[in-house]
Structures are given as structure tokens and as C-alpha cells.
Structure 1
Amino acid sequence: MGPRPLPLHLATSASVLMSSLAALGPARSGLIAWNESRSPKGRESADRIQTAIAAADAEDLARAVANEATERLSRFVTGIRAYRDHPYQRPDSEVAVLWHDGSSRLLDYGGDGRPVLLVPSLINRAHILDLRCGASFCAWLRANGLRPLLLDWGAPGDNEIDFDLDAYITDRLGPALKTATTLAGAPVPMLGYCMGGLLTLAAALLSPDHVAGLALLATPWDFHAERSGQTGMLAVAAALPTTPSTPPLPVDLIQALFASLQPNLIQAKFRRFAAMDPESPDALAFVALEDWLNDGVELAAPAARNCLIGWYRDNQPGKGCWKIGGKLVDPARLTCPSFVALPTRDRIVPPSSASALANALPNPVMIEPRAGHIGMMVGSRAEAALWEPLGAWLRDV
């Protein structure tokens, strides 16, 4: 039950809100350093706030701040309770399994159209691409003349406990790709979302004859393009053991790392949820997405080392030295057509990181949806902003 890890979110929110009282003195004295990169409108707001703080009665201001902090914390807890009490449950899905090995499955959503291989991240459940009725990219693809094949990596089991990224690409993604091309009788378009984009790029370079086109959605490349919030990633990287059969990286630790990128996000969105009608479409969408977010997947320790050390610490992709199967993963060598989606409001994969990949590819088709990392795929404007242009490209490639 989420939001995970709950103790961290409760402690962070209480600390941030209640420490606002301690910040009042420095704020009244003009000692608070505001973000220099803020917009002119942001600077105007900061100046107005600073003036109001300086002019307010100290006791009245302290009382108002304490009351507001307490009220926000109360609404946050109310939102969590409302989420946990919500009756929504994801319905059981009847999807054919086209191929499987270990914990991984290739799900066939059917249809008479051209097969398209969809590859999500290793650390989230695959059904973000089939979230719910009205927010299912897989269902939309089938309804629009394509046959989606979704690679569900599954959680690492006994067969995958020692998997690194090489193993996931060669022993899981590679066979899934060959299964898709056998079904199609021809090369197929392949789509990678977030971390899945890096894996599909490597697979496309290793098996170019199997790939008709490569779509990369919110895919990072230059991991040092914007390093704010990476302290936790680097700390975990330094602490990772290197012994064989190390247990996978736990879900709660992975969730904590990504929560550190936006520490106040959880508090703000659950306060908004507290004010929603629980039977409204917005509330249903919120719960479905939160259930997916909190149902994460452990990451095999060798793969975690590849990601946290090879990507986040050493920036191997951005520096042009990332290798899979002993071969350099060089976007410039991609011979098939490519499509890149760069969501402009992404806080998980900064646009500057993803644009480095677009710049390295030979002549990609590129779109920039006005959305965040997840909203691009399942938000209320996802169909117009992403699905339609991407679907047209997939049909033509």
C-alpha cells in the first residue's frame, strides 16, 4: 500500500512543513537565498513575498505559518487515507502470452495489424502501457490498426538474480524481438519507454535486421546534463555490494531514490486528492496511476550496478562509452528510422538528457509533448499529444 515508502514520505512532509517556522527569522532578515534561475514572474513573486514577510507582525506571521503547516500536513494524511480506502482495483486482464522465459513474458494484445514491440522500464510494471479503460496505449494501438506486443519483464526470480543489462538485452529482449519478427514475417517497429529506450536502442544495434523502426520515449542519454537530485543515486551506487547473488535492489529503495528528485511532490498530490470526489473520473485516474506507481519491481543487483554506476555515476551513454555484448552502443550507427518523444515537463528524465540522444541519432522524427514523464503516456491529453503522432509513424515506418 502506498505511497511507498510511507514512513519516508510522512517524515519528509512533517519535516519540510514544520521547519517553515524555523525559516521565518532568516526570511524576515533577508537571509533566504532564492533560486537565481527563476523566471521574471518568479522573481516578482519572490520580491512580493519577501516584502510581505518583512512587513507582517512577527507573532501573527508565526501563528499563521504554524496553522498552515498543520493544515497541509492534515490534508496530506487525509489524502493518504482516502487513497487507501478507495474501492478501485485493477481488473484481471486476459492477454495471450506469446513467449515467456523465466519471469519475462511477451503479451499479445491481438488485432490484425502490424505487430509492434513495446518495451517498458525494468523497474516498473509493464501495464503503464495498458493502465485502465480510456488510458491504455495498447488498446488504442489495436483499435487503430496495429498489433501491440508488450514485453513484461516481471520481477527478478531465480533465473534473473544475477542478470546485468547485457543479460536482460541478449537473453530476454533479443528472444522477444525474434518472436515478434517471426510472427510478423518481417522486421517490426520497436518502442522503448524511459529506461526501456536505452535497452531497445542496444537491441536494435545488435539485431538491425529485425527492427523496422525505433521509437524512444522520454529516454535518458546524458546522465550528467542536469545532476540535481542525483545525490541519493550516487550514494546507493557507492554502497552496492559486488558479490555474486546479491539480493535485488528493493522496491522501497528505488521509490525513495525517485522521490528524492521531487521531495514535495507526494505531499502536494495527496493534498489535491483529499479534495476530490472519490467517485469522479479524476479520482479514479489518480488511484489507478498510484496503484501502478506503488507496485514497483525490484532490480537485479548487477543490473542496478550497471544503471547507478555505469549510467548515473560514470555517464557511459553520454560519454559514448556504454557497451552491451562488448559492442559500443552508438546511436549514430542506427540504420532504421527513429522517432523521439521529449516531454517538456519531465522531471524524471530532464529534457536536456533526452535531447542528447535525439541529437546523436541520424535524422529522427521528434515531438515535444507539453507533459510530464508519465502524463505523456496516460494523461488526459496523451492521445492527441503522443499516441496519434506516434501511431501514424508506427503505421508508416
Structure 2
Amino acid sequence: MANCPTITPMSRRWIQLATFAAYLPSAALPVLAERADAPGGPLDPSVLVVPFCLAFAAGFALWGRVADRVAAERVIVLALGLAAVSGAMVALAPSEPALIVARALQGAATAGVPPAAQAALARSRTEHETGRALSPMMLAVAFAVLTGPAIAQLLGDAAGWTVTALVVSCLLPLLLAATAARAALIARGGGPRRTAGTAPYAHPRGVYAGWIVSACVLAGHWTVLTRIAEAVGADGLGHGHDWTGLAPLTGALGLPLVVLAARAGDRAGPRAPMVATLIAGALGFALAATASTLALFVAAAGVGLAVYWAYLPVVAMQVQRSAGEAARGRAAGGLYASMWCAAAGAGALASLAPSWRVVLAGAGLSWTIGAIVAGRAFIGEPAAARAEVAAAPATA
């Protein structure tokens, strides 16, 4: 990939921060919904979740196409600027209807960052270093999701809704947009990537397989998160005590798996690590569905919540390696759209389930289907490596 632009170490950190800034408002602000000083508050948390998620999912396809035609840093800076403006609208919204509109605009704006960031990072290394290139971005997503609620809670208690929403939604995007030129995202000589039309995918089956697996994984993961409080609450396995915050935290134990899975995918191809990841998660959710004690539930469900983070760099690697040089942004946009659309649809379906046990069993089934698709359609071990292994006995 000698014709690919070189990304400097400083600009890699800039992309990580841009990814963190894009995901932080989605995870942070819903915890403030019940505050009396929120616009129209106290609010149902869905007011802050649903408009953002729907617009976030809808925006990926458009932004992904833009990322294939315009230099990555310009797309990210534009998205960050729009995110800061819409974030200010969220913070200063005079009423609940205005907040809903502003939150949707915020989701549509921040959707521009992930496809452009993923495409730029994938272009910065060779095909067999894709996992290594993408894993820092996935760690940024994880930190935003895991730390966002705590950041918003601390700021909200100290400064109230308006200041917290401004800090969470606007401060980092503005700083990053202002320092984009200094970060030198694309080194001189790389130039913007423009295409005359919509370029075909190099391996369409591989791209679509990545989207399907993502839909299966997010559907299962999201439904578990929506019903986990029921399982570990006072009326569930908590037996009079509320342990709602305990089980999700076990997912943080999976953060090292981001790097390990990415490296494994670079060495052996995305198929083996993805299948292993999804089988482990499916077994964890299935065991949790039958758990009779809190400890067993937390341990089993925790496996699924932890290995989720291993899935992220591997599926991104699969999609980027299958997309081809001229369609990376569009492929990434479809990947993120499949994630969020599946999460929204499955979350609504899970609300109709008669119990949390049915939801956990369904999550295990969904991940099993994803493992089957990955086993049949994901990229396997590089041909050169297989040839070396086959030739080894003959040369011994």
C-alpha cells in the first residue's frame, strides 16, 4: 500500500480523541435525564437516547460516502464543528421538544467521525496491520462508553445541566477542530482521496458478512444491557439488594482483549478470533440465562460483556480488508449503521420479552448466528502463512 497516506503518531492520538469526543455525548448525557434543571426535566432517559441513536444510525451511510471523496481530516473537522454547534443547542434547549430536535442533530453530526476515522486509520498501514491500526480507535470508543456516565454525573452534581452538557458536548470537539491543522492528520503527499463515482467493494461478500455479524452482536449485547437491571436488582437475583452497577462493570475487564484480538486478527485473519469471541460470548449469555445465583449470573454474563470489546477491532478489520481502497468510508458507514439499527430494533423487541432469561437466551442465539456467518464468510489465515505451514514438514 505504498500509495497510502502516512499518518503521524500525533495525528493518531488526534483521531483517538476525536472518536472519544464523538461517543462521549451518547453515553454521558442520558444519566442526567432525571435532573430537574434539564430542559423540560425531569425527563425519561429515552428522550436523550432515542433521537440521538436514530440520527446517529441514519447519518453513517451519508458520512461514509463523503469520507471516500474528501480527505479524512476535513470530514472529521466538519463533523466535530457541527457536533459542537448541536451540542450547544442541546445544552441551551429551552424545552423538551427543542431538546429532542437538538439531540437528533447532535447524533447526525457526530456520525461523521467514526467512518472517516476508521477509513483513515485503515489506509495508514498494510492490509495485515489493519487490526493494529484500528485497535486504538476501539479503545477510545470503550473509554467513552464506560467513563461517560461517571463524568456526566460528577459534573452534573457540581455544575448542573447546562455547564455539563456544554463541557461534554462542545469542549473537546472545539479543541480538536482548532488543532486539526497542527495535528497534520494526513502527511504531505497523501492528499485527499476522491472518486468519480461510487466505487464497488473489492469483496462484497466479506463486507456484507461484517455488517450481518455486527447486527447479530449488537442486537444481543444491547438487549442484555437493557434488561440486566431486572436480573441483578432487588426483585431478581439480588434478593433484596440492587447490584445493577456490578455486572456491566465486568465488561471493563475485556478492554485488554481489544489489543489482543486485533493482533490475533493481523496474524491469522479475522475469522478465527471472531468465531472464538462469539462462541465464548454466546456460551456466557446462555449460561447466564439459566443462572440461579447472582455470582453465577455476573460471571457468565460478564464473559459476554467482556468479549464484546474483542469483537470491535476484528469486525472493523474484516470490513476494511474486504472494502477496497476506494470504498473504505462507505463500508465503515454501513458497518456502524448495522450496529446501531440492530441495537435499536432489538432493544424494542427485548422490551416485549416476558423475562430477562428469555432476553439472555436470545442474545446467546444471536451471537451463535454471528459465529456461523463469520465462520463461513470472514477472511481466514493468509495464504502465504498456510503455504509455509504446509511446506514445513517437507523441509524438516
TM-score (norm 2): 0.21
Query: Taking CA–CA contacts closer than 8 Å with sequence separation of 6 or more, which of the two structures ends up with the larger relative contact order?
Result: 2
